[in-house]
């Protein structure tokens, strides 16, 4: 089965037409809600952002070629129906008489799904909660989460940025990807969530656990990312920045209110933390990187999350994005990844086993 | 040498009784000083930490050379694995936080505790940076931060970024078991009472092998006794492990440094060499298999 993140439009069915009509009515519905809705506030008067939220969506971080910023209703229908078809196909019973999968696994064509499963069926849709809808932001169905640069793609690297990428590639080329635990991805090591879930910026991973809990106090805002139970403590007030050599995972975040918007400015990002992962816009932040996030409650069920990445050492331009955070009804799970991380151990053990087998085979050849 | 006469004893006793009479007044005054939320509940927002040595051993204990020992020619000596730590790896004494002094283990559970103690290096979840569970997270030698609004309460711990939300509406039976369990909190007057269940049975209580076992219910009580102090109690109940419910009690101290902030101790990466080092292509320790 082949599937791309944005597949071609299938023939429209009756439900798809209904969906199109519903989408056409969406701006009206949003407008109606906004006129009746009253922004909930805390006792100190600040907007109430608390609760559980999800940024799961099928809108990718980077805009696919040939699309405008805002999708047409037909495009939305096609994309969401394609997603449903993909899920339905995965739920179909397997053919008991099928042959063995090809060497390297049966790839689906979805790069993220294939990366996570290796095409070997490690996960199926039962385990996946990737986000099955196009992101609606200010009533607009969006083709990408990045909105600046205007083509919806990552800004160009500076010469210094390119040099840093080359240096990292050269460093990594000293090793095979299975040589050491440190050669494996941060998420596989249970150090960070994959796909920049923890952020900043806090972005969907297009697989599962795109969930957050926010608790506010007058002095601090706590944002817990379900994946790897990463907690960001956003201190409110005049920033007292960490020394430059202190670069913790998730960075050093300080917040303040601008009217009804919580503004978070983060510096001191960890040099090995991948930002905007799960996209071809991913990058490692420099020591000068700054991420500015703006959270605005726009309805009972949505927070508008806007982010700006400023890293003049790495990029020729800033990068800005917009992501809807939708209210999540239900409790979050404990993502205790490290405590049962059989994967990392078995990945390394498998590599050592393969090496031993190859050594034995070579020895036999020699004899 | 001072010899107390009957008269002097009487004076001291009288002074003592007089002071005791003042205690309710003092507590009452303290109660007024306790910060409160808009809803009138004690406001526990802030960074807290225990003092003392409960994280080594919650029962009363004298100092000892190390947690891991081996036989010596005269007396036991620190095990090879911890020898290099010297005094840094020694166990300081503690007067214990168990109300009544001793944990009421059932006999087979006591045997397990003793085995745990013998095999501390292999068994203690803290060594592998596993989530600590409740109540151990409270008195590890790391601070934690309480985030409390009138609608939500959450605690995040510096150690391993352990986290738990304390639900203010009963979520019912836990859907799955977890390391930090499921917490449900209610106010009993000025005391925040938290029922914790749904914990996996793998968490320990300290570095001395004390444990609770699967199916444990912990009932915590957080009572602010001043602006900067919380009296913390945790009743631990598991009829499979203990002959009766029992309680630990200790004060929590607010970090009053105006610049205090929670640190980051994501120790997962710190234990990779311990857990996976033998699986490197070229093991540093030379023990690849």
In a domain, B127, yes or no: yes
Instruction: Indicate if B20 and B127 belong to the same structural domain.
Output: no
pLDDT tens-digit profile of A188-235? 999 999 888 999 999 999 999 999 999 999 999 999 999 999 999 999
Sign of the CA dihedral with A134 first, then A135, A139, and A143 last: negative
CB–CB contact A216 B149 (8 Å): yes
Give pTM, 2 decimals: 0.88
In a domain, A285, yes or no: yes
Nearest to residue A344, comparing CAs of B273, B176, B122? Answer: B273
Number of domains in chain A: 1
Quote the CA–CA distance of B183 and B181 in Å, as a whole number: 6
Dihedral-angle region of residue A66 (phi above 0 means left; psi in -120 to 50 means alpha; beta otherwise): left
Quote the CA–CA distance of B177 and A198 in Å, as a whole number: 24
Which of A219, A222, A349 has the CB atom closest to B154's CB atom? A222
CB–CB contact A43 B150 (8 Å): yes
Quote the CA–CA distance of B244 and A263 in Å, as a whole number: 51
Quote the CA–CA distance of A122 and A231 in Å, as a whole number: 29
Token pair in block for residue B75: 């007396």
Nearest to residue A341, comparing CAs of A228, A206, A247, A261? Answer: A228
Instruction: Indicate if B105 and B184 belong to the same structural domain.
Output: yes
Chain B hits for A217, Cβ within 8 Å:
45, 147-149
Task: Check if A43 contacts B (Cβ < 8 Å).
Answer: yes
Give per-10-residue mean pLDDT for chain A (367 aa). 33 33 40 74 96 97 96 97 90 86 76 70 80 96 98 97 97 96 95 91 94 96 96 96 97 97 98 93 96 98 98 98 96 94 95 95 73
CB–CB contact B171 A331 (8 Å): yes
Quote the CA–CA distance of B62 and B167 in Å, as a whole number: 39
In a domain, A339, yes or no: no
Instruction: Indicate if B268 and B163 belong to the same structural domain.
Output: yes
SS3 A236: strand
In a domain, B29, yes or no: yes
Token pair in block for residue A336: 């205790």
Task: Check if A273 contacts B (Cβ < 8 Å).
Answer: no
Task: Please name the residue that has the structure tokens 């005049």.
Answer: A238
In a domain, A268, yes or no: yes
Instruction: Indicate if B141 and B175 belong to the same structural domain.
Output: yes
pLDDT for position A81? 97
In a domain, A350, yes or no: no
CB–CB contact A339 B281 (8 Å): no
Query: In terms of CA atoms, which chain A residue is nearest residue B267?
Result: A191
Mode of pairing for the β-strands spanning B144-148 and B46-50: antiparallel
Number of domains in chain B: 3
Per-residue pLDDT of chain B (289 residues; tens, 9 = 90+): 333 343 443 444 434 444 444 444 444 555 558 999 999 999 999 999 999 999 999 999 999 999 999 999 999 999 999 999 999 999 999 999 999 999 999 999 999 999 999 999 999 999 999 999 999 999 999 999 999 999 999 999 999 999 999 999 999 999 999 999 999 999 999 999 999 999 999 999 999 999 999 999 999 999 999 999 999 999 999 999 999 999 999 999 999 999 999 999 999 999 999 999 999 999 997 554 4
Structure letter (DSSP) for residue B123: H
CA distance A182 to chain B (A): 8
Quote the CA–CA distance of A136 and A142 in Å, as a whole number: 6
Chain A hits for B256, Cβ within 8 Å:
none
Quote the CA–CA distance of A284 and A261 in Å, as a whole number: 28
Instruction: Indicate if B213 and B250 belong to the same structural domain.
Output: yes
Instruction: Indicate if B83 and B210 belong to the same structural domain.
Output: no
Print the domain residue range for B23. Answer: 1-33
Instruction: Compute the CA torsion angle A313, A314, A317, A320 (nearest 10 deg).
Output: -120
CA distance A113 to chain B (A): 26
In a domain, B289, yes or no: no
In a domain, A363, yes or no: no
In a domain, A358, yes or no: no
Print the domain residue range for A115. Answer: 14-91+108-327
CB–CB contact A334 B266 (8 Å): no
Token pair in block for residue B180: 């930090």
Q: How large is the ipTM?
A: 0.87
B134 close to B271: Cβ distance less than 8 angstroms: no
């Amino acid at each position: 089965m082949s599937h791309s993140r944005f597949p071609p439009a299938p023939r429209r069915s009756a439900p798809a037409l209904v969906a199109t009509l519903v989408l056409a009515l969406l701006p009206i519905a949003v407008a109606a809600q906004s006129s009746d809705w009253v922004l909930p506030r805390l006792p100190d008067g600040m907007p109430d952002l608390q609760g559980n939220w999800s940024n799961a969506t099928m809108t990718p971080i980077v805009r696919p070629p040939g699309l405008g910023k805002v999708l047409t209703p037909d495009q939305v229908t096609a994309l969401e129906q394609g997603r449903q078809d993909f899920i339905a196909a995965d739920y179909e019973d397997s053919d008991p008489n099928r042959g063995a999968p090809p060497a390297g696994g049966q790839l689906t064509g979805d790069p993220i799904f294939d990366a996570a499963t290796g095409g070997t069926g490690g996960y199926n849709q039962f385990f996946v909660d990737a986000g099955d809808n196009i992101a609606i932001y200010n009533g607009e169905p969006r083709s990408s989460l990045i909105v600046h640069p205007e083509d919806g793609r990552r800004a160009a690297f500076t010469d210094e940025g390119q040099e840093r990428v080359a240096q990292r590639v050269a460093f990594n080329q000293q090793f095979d990807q299975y040589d050491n635990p440190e050669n494996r991805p941060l998420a596989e090591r249970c150090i960070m969530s994959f796909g920049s879930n923890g952020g900043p910026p806090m972005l969907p991973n297009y697989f599962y656990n795109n969930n957050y809990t926010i608790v506010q106090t007058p002095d601090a805002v706590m944002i817990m990312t379900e994946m790897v139970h990463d907690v960001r403590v956003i201190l409110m007030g005049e920033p007292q920045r960490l020394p430059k050599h202190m670069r913790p995972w998730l960075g050093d975040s300080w917040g303040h209110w601008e009217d009804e918007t919580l503004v978070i400015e983060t510096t001191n990002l960890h040099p090995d933390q991948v930002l905007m992962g799960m996209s071809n816009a991913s990058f490692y932040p420099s020591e000068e990187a700054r991420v500015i996030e703006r959270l605005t409650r726009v309805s009972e069920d949505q927070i508008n999350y806007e982010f700006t990445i400023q890293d003049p050492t790495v990029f020729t331009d800033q990068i800005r994005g917009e992501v809807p955070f939708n209210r999540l009804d239900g409790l979050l799970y404990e993502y205790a990844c490290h405590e049962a991380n059989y994967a990392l151990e078995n990945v390394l053990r498998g590599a050592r086993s393969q090496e031993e087998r190859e050594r034995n085979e070579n020895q036999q050849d020699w004899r | 040498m001072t010899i107390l006469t009957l008269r002097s004893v009487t004076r001291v006793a009288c002074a003592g009784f007089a002071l005791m009479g003042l205690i309710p007044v003092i507590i009452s005054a303290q109660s007024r000083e306790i910060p409160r939320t808009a809803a009138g509940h004690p406001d526990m927002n802030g960074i807290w930490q225990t003092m003392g040595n409960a994280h080594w051993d919650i029962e009363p204990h004298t100092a000892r050379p190390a947690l891991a020992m081996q036989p010596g020619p005269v007396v036991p000596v620190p095990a090879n694995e911890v020898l290099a730590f010297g005094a840094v790896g020694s166990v300081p004494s503690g007067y214990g936080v168990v109300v009544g002094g001793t944990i009421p283990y059932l006999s087979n559970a006591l045997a397990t505790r003793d085995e745990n103690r013998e095999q501390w290096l292999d068994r203690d979840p803290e060594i592998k940076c596993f989530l600590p569970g409740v109540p151990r997270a409270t008195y590890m030698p790391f601070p934690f931060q309480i985030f409390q609004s009138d609608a939500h309460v959450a605690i995040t711990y510096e150690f391993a970024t352990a986290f738990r939300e304390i639900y203010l509406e009963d979520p019912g039976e836990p859907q799955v078991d977890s390391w930090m369990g499921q917490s449900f909190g209610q106010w009993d007057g000025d005391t925040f009472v938290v029922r914790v269940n749904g914990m996996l049975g793998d968490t320990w209580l300290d570095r001395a092998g004390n444990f609770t076992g699967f199916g444990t219910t912990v009932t915590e009580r957080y009572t602010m006794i001043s602006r900067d102090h919380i009296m913390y109690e945790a009743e631990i109940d598991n009829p499979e492990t203990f002959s009766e419910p029992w309680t630990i009690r200790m004060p929590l101290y607010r970090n009053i440094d105006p610049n205090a902030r929670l640190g980051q101790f994501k120790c997962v990466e710190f234990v990779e060499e311990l857990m996976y080092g033998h699986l490197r292509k070229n093991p540093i320790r030379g023990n690849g298999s």
